[in-house]
């Protein structure tokens, strides 16, 4: 089953913006950093902007900026801003009601999936973009803001 990289690339984008400080970054620069297309970055920036996480600065030297402090951005916000699908999806076609397993599997499975989703969301809600930016700077042995 296919999975999406939107969340990871969106986090990458926000961390790059956090690392850059108050310097706006162009979608081309962000795309280079994430090793993707500027079109992908612009699409993500649009979703992140709608969620109040990024903003644009127009004109010469313009680009994307964080719309609020990285310390206030939780990974759960990012996930909710860019992912379209639920973490778990039930059968595309409902199982047959006359089957002993098929008629009961959704009700049997749902509590475990709910607990898993809640644990996933709690973990994402625990981590901020600022924490990741600090980790990237520490691992890369550089000080922020980074000169691009």
Strand, coil or helix: 145: coil
CA 99, CA 94: separation in Å to the nearest integer?
11
Strand, coil or helix: 38: helix
CA 14, CA 17: separation in Å to the nearest integer?
5
Beta bridge partners of 57: 63
Percent of the chain with pLDDT over 70: 97
Beta bridge partners of 64: 25, 56
- Cβ contacts of residue 24 below 8 Å, gap of 6+? 56, 57, 61, 62, 63, 64, 65
Q: What is the pLDDT of residue 131?
A: 98
Per-residue pLDDT band for 85 (boundaries 50, 70, 90) equals: low
- pTM for this prediction: 0.89
Instruction: Work out the mean pLDDT of the chain and round it to a whole number.
Output: 93
Q: Is the pLDDT of residue 3 over 80?
A: no
Per-residue pLDDT band for 4 (boundaries 50, 70, 90) equals: confident
Q: How far is CA 81 from CA 8, 42, 89, 94, in A?
A: 12, 14, 19, 29
Are the beta carbons of 63 and 27 closer than 8 angstroms?
yes
Strand, coil or helix: 93: coil
């Amino acid at each position: 089953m296919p999975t999406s990289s939107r969340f990871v690339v969106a986090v990458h984008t926000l961390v790059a913006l956090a690392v850059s400080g108050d310097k706006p970054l162009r979608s081309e620069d962000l795309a280079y950093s994430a090793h993707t297309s500027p079109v992908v970055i612009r699409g993500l920036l649009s979703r992140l902007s709608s969620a109040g996480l990024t903003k644009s600065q127009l004109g010469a030297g313009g680009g994307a900026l964080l719309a609020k402090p990285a310390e206030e951005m939780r990974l759960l916000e990012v996930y909710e801003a860019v992912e379209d699908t639920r973490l778990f999806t039930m059968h595309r076609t409902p199982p047959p009601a006359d089957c002993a397993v098929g008629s009961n599997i959704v009700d049997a499975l749902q509590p475990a999936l709910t607990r898993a989703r809640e644990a996933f969301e709690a973990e994402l809600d625990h981590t901020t973009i600022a924490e990741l930016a600090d980790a990237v700077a520490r691992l890369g042995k550089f000080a922020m803001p980074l000169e691009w």
